[in-house]
Amino acid sequence: MQKKIVRREYQEEATSPFDELHPLLRRVYAARRVQSLQELDNTFGKLIPFHLLLGIEEAVQLLARAVMQNQSILIVGDFDADGATSTAVAIRALRSFGAEQVSFLVPNRFAYGYGLTPELVAVAKDRAPDLIVTVDNGIANHAGVDAARALGIKVIVTDHHLAAPTLPMADAIVNPNQPKDPFPSKNLAGVGVIFYVMLALRRHLQNIGWFAEKSLPEPNMSRLLDIVALGTVADLVPLDHNNRILVHQGLRRIRSGQGIPGIIALLELSNRDFRRAVTTDLGFAVAARLNAAGRLDDMSLGIECLLCDDPLRVREIARQLDQLNDERKHIEHDMQTQALQVLQKLTSTLQGELPRGLCLFDEAWHQGVIGILAARIKDRFHRPAIVFAPGHNSELKGSARSITGLHIRDVLALIDVQYPGLIIKFGGHAMAAGLTIACERIAEFSRIFDEVVSAQVTEAQLQHCLISDGELEVDEFDLAVAAMIREAGPWGQAFPEPLFDDTFKILEQRIVGEKHLKLKLSKAEKVLDAVAFFVDVKAWPNYRCQFIRAAYRLDINEYKGRQSTQLIIEYLEAV
């Protein structure tokens, strides 16, 4: 799909608070609506205080009683990276507080579905827990909470997903997105929510003298921040100031070699240097391999990787996760090929015009990979996409991904109101959601989804725009500038890494690794190395092309101990 490069609009104030910063950073921060130096202060003490979370006091009282009375605590997680990291944070923290009976249970997506379902409670019953704590789920699991409480099990829900009109009847709920919650940041990931609960629990146990009474060292909660950073980045929540603090502090631990063995092992297995780790390393290297466990097998393996402190055992788990990730790639590739063939036929039938809301289904597709496929289709065609795979009892499981400006969960909620019974269940965020429908209603749902999306998006929103921070000066193609940009983050969702655009002369071009375009470019007298990943090898290299316009990131390439600047090209076109 043709992309359009659009430059960010920004306005620097006459008296900027960033006068001492490099002009490039002033421009970048102004374009991201940063208004004060305080918003760039990523020290731990600048976190929003935990007492602002609604329900946190009730949760702390229940947890403190469970720890002090040696009750059995069961953490019920989710099968993605946010769920895995949330589970690991809860268990590591509780064990450091002196909890002796703490374990976890993660639903197998193929057997139990999402969250604390009644079926999962039936499995949990055999462990005889006194207290269930959900992490990254639970806000929509009314029946599961009821089933647990009917068995005499107390339930604390910690979650960050949007709440339904009614809340489950849990003993305590901590979720910044529940009604009337005053917590100013609504962007915490599930791992951020449980980290806040554990911060509050530690403070309570400190205040009552628990650690001194039990001769326990007072836990250093910063030791969990590498895990918190991983889950926050993996779940693609907006990196507002509060989340940037969590991610920045976690990356600091990883870079200093203080990360947990599981994260370090997965970085090394991905050929990433932990000493130079950035958010993209956490997302594309570590989280991808953790998620592979939940997509194809059982996320318990991923959680074990995050809990294990034995370097030899961790490396073995990391290798298993890497193998699962390779298998996931093969499955995804086959599914993507099939999906593109379906879309080509659909485009031909509709005389070149795709629906504004895309729905795809194949009986052979793997339920664990539909989320990734939906993201790939959304990126390729810049349309909200839902990909379905067979579930149980003649049901289809769907995974939805959206474009900027269209809240996908709200779209599903509107469909649910206007067409009662069409969606069996749903939940999610602005950009990603999951749902279940009856198999025989896929055609009906596809038509209605397209109609609802079409009523809410404009033609302009369907244009795939790359938002650029403009041109770099020739003297800014420099290692020091690249390092400055790297350290000016952390970059991520809603706080994007700077993207620049310019026109360059091609000096050399060749394919490497079968699908990546390696380039040598020039601007003025400056010669620049560049690489564009996953190009169309039918179109590139193009030896008739002398100039390109490119949208790119300024990066640091390290080879045999030598560092050099490199342009990572996100998009290029001949000019």
In this predicted structure, the answer to whether residue 374 has a pLDDT above a threshold of 80 is: yes
Task: Report the distance separating Cα 445 and Cα 403, nearest Å.
Answer: 19
Task: Report the distance separating Cα 356 and Cα 453, nearest Å.
Answer: 6
Q: Are 26 and 12 in contact (CB under 8 A)?
A: yes
> What pLDDT, in 10s, does the model give residues 540-574?
999 999 999 999 999 999 888 889 999 999 999 99
Other C-beta atoms closer than 10 Å to the C-beta of 392 total: 11
Q: Are 290 and 237 in contact (CB under 8 A)?
A: no
Q: Are 233 and 279 in contact (CB under 8 A)?
A: yes
Ordered structural domains, the chain, with CATH: 3-32+466-574 (2.40.50.460), 49-322 (3.90.1640.30), 354-458 (3.10.310.30)
Task: Report the distance separating Cα 507 and Cα 449, nearest Å.
Answer: 48
CA 49 centroid distance within chain: 24
Q: Which pLDDT does position 271 carry in this prediction? A: 93
In this predicted structure, the answer to whether residue 352 has a pLDDT above a threshold of 70 is: no
Q: Are 435 and 415 in contact (CB under 8 A)?
A: no
> What six digits make up the tokens of 53?
């979370």
In this predicted structure, the answer to whether residue 388 has a pLDDT above a threshold of 80 is: yes
Q: Are 548 and 572 in contact (CB under 8 A)?
A: yes
- Least confident among 111-115, 301-305, 316-320, 340-344: 111-115
Place of tokens 């397209």: 450
Q: Which pLDDT does position 431 carry in this prediction? A: 87
Length of the chain in terms of residues written? 575
Task: Report the distance separating Cα 425 and Cα 435, nearest Å.
Answer: 6
Mean pLDDT in the chain? 94
> What six digits make up the tokens of 446?
């596809």
Task: Report the distance separating Cα 514 and Cα 407, nearest Å.
Answer: 37
- Distant-in-sequence, close-in-space partners of 88: CB < 8 Å, separation ≥ 6: 227, 303, 306, 307
Which residue from 262, 274, 255 is spatially nearest to 91, judged by alpha carbons?
262
Q: Which pLDDT does position 483 carry in this prediction? A: 96
In this predicted structure, the answer to whether residue 417 has a pLDDT above a threshold of 80 is: yes
Instruction: Categorize the per-residue pLDDT at 393 as very low, low, confident or very high, splitting at 50, 70 and 90.
Output: confident
Which residue from 394, 383, 387, 338 is spatially nearest to 367, judged by alpha carbons?
387
Q: Which pLDDT does position 507 carry in this prediction? A: 98
Q: Which pLDDT does position 12 carry in this prediction? A: 62
For 115, counting Cβ atoms within 10 Å of its Cβ (0-12 exposed, 13-18 middle, 19+ buried), the class is buried
Q: How crowded is the C-beta side of 125, counted as CA atoms within 13 Å?
A: 15
Instruction: Categorize the per-residue pLDDT at 13 as very low, low, confident or very high, splitting at 50, 70 and 90.
Output: low
Which residue from 258, 271, 272, 263 is spatially nearest to 308, judged by alpha carbons?
263
Task: Report the distance separating Cα 285 and Cα 487, nearest Å.
Answer: 19
Which residue from 307, 208, 237, 253 is spatially nearest to 42, judged by alpha carbons?
253
- Least confident among 26-35, 351-360, 439-448, 542-551: 351-360
> What pLDDT, in 10s, does the model give residues 89-126?
999 999 999 999 999 999 876 666 678 999 999 999 99
Which residue from 357, 355, 377 is spatially nearest to 365, judged by alpha carbons?
377
In this predicted structure, the answer to whether residue 15 has a pLDDT above a threshold of 70 is: no
Helix (H, G, I), strand (E, B), or coil: what is residue 60? helix
> What pLDDT, in 10s, does the model give residues 445-484?
999 999 999 999 998 899 999 999 999 999 999 999 999 9
* 350 against 389, higher pLDDT: 389
* 404 against 129, higher pLDDT: 129
